[in-house]
Structure 1
Amino acid sequence: MAMVWILVWNLIARNAIASISIEVKPALVDFGTSGVDVSCIVNDTSLMGISVIQLKRSENNVVSVTNKTKIAWQDEALENKTGVTVNASFTNIMTSYLRLEISKTVVRYPGDMGIYQCILIATTVNGEVKRSLSQQIVLNITGFLETSTHLYSTTNHKSTELTGQKGYQENGTESFVNTDKPLLKKHLLLYRTIMIPITTFISCIFAFIIARELHLHYFVSKTTSTAKTTEKKYTNGVYIV
């Protein structure tokens, strides 16, 4: 009975301890603030050689490395980005690794979100080809909507292309012009450019007319006053004192 329990325990232990593990730091990324660091780490002492270490995101392969430390990209959009690095080492079979680092400036939303998993294809000391899967770790990205809203309100020029679903970003370089505030600002500038000279000109005309009327009124009043005074002082050729 004891031997049965020992055999069962060994079988459970062998299945529980995978030949490869995965680390994702952090599992919750703050968009624009933190980057992504994913590592596939081999931890099996029964291996004789390693053929491939493969990194997957959900149902898609991202990047892999062969026993000649040759890196092969499957995510071509990620491959061509500045700020993305891949390091790998097969120097020590028991501690071989594949590491993907994505800088905070090029993290894609929702492109880099998903379930990450590592796959190992290796040869055991018995000559058997072994395929192992790591545990699965979900990577989430938060803060994209707030960051993009702030970006639009401060620049109003170039931005990343958005899909129809709110808050989602496709990686692209196409730019567009926010047609709300810039259009209002353009109309305001046009209004000021046209209306200020017109109102100034009209004000000058009104000022001239008012000044002219005041001058005429003053001249007429003075003439009338002088005439009355003369009429009182001079009558029939005789001055009245």
Structure 2
Amino acid sequence: LAVTGDPRDDVLSRGTPSERTERARAAIFSALGLGQTASRIVLFAPTWRDGELDPGLPSAAHWRQIDEYLQSSESLLVLRPHPHSLGDYRSGADSSDRIMLLDSSMLTDVTPILPAVDVLVTDYSSIAFDYSLTGGPILFLAPDEETYTESRGLYEPYREFSGAREVRSWPALLDQLERLDTDGRWATEVRRHTADLATRHFAFHDGRNTERVYSEILRRLKAPQ
């Protein structure tokens, strides 16, 4: 077994941080059909629930609370649900000019735009591992942790994955988003957990995973059979 790193993640390590962010912001605003703004970008990327209604789907009241937070913080909430769950989230996107759907027809792979994301919100998705390479804060919304763990299983114990800071509701998550801005010590702890995810799950951070995969393929093709 060769440890090479995932070629898909090379884009998260190539160039300087400012270059990666500039490329990613241009890509995400282009995909959304918007002119570039200084707005903070919050990406919500929940896991596919096998056709069941996503328990993290905000209620009408929660959408209003989310919009209030986005307006006051000058943020955008970009929604990246599974393609089969898009319809569940349209009411949110229709309710606010700061809530945007980013489906796979608009952008096939979200990995290249992750450096533009200021905060990632997810539940159990492996996107947290990819995003950890950016060093940005990750918040976890997991209203169905017990049910999901029993039916699907996890990559690792959930408290290790989430840093034991997961919440179960959108009001609690909005409190955490505000806390990132007001509690510097807590924000540092959240970013420290991001760094821990990257350290534990990635052997390489040099943007040369594709090169290693290619070299390994050539080595094996040349090896005696």
TM-score, with structure 2 as normaliser: 0.21
Query: Higher relative CO (CA 8 A, sep ≥ 6), structure 1 or 2?
Result: 2
- Bigger radius of gyration, 1 or 2? 1
More strand by share: 1
